[in-house]
Amino acid sequence: MDFTIITALIGIVATLSGIILGWSAKAKEAKNEVRKDAELDTTLRTDMEYLKRGVDDIRIEQRSQGQRMDAMGERLTRVEESSKQAHKRIDRMEQKGE
């Protein structure tokens, strides 16, 4: 064989191997990028679920607090009514005593 043919064959083989290695490196990089994106997406989803649960807990606590305030308001109204009646009785007792 002629030296130029061997040189051409070596050049062709080197070019083909460069293309194959470049292609495989790009595929590997793309695979790693997809994995990193999936990890980030999973982390974000987990954090969002944590925040949603926290908001739900706050809503439940707020609803409970509202119910307690309503109950306190009812009790306060009853105490005010009772106090008003007691004052009327005291006033009547003072008027009888005079």
pLDDT at 4: 87
State the chain's mean pLDDT as an integer. Answer: 91
Decide if pLDDT at 98 tops 80.
no
pLDDT at 97: 72
Radius of gyration of the chain (CA): 42
- Average pLDDT rounded to a whole number, residues 9-14: 90
Q: What 8-state DSSP symbol labels residue 2? A: -
The whole-angstrom separation of Cα 42 and Cα 39 is 5
The whole-angstrom separation of Cα 18 and Cα 35 is 26
Beta strands in the chain (DSSP E): none
**Apex 55 CA angle, 54 and 58, nearest 5:** 90
pLDDT at 75: 95
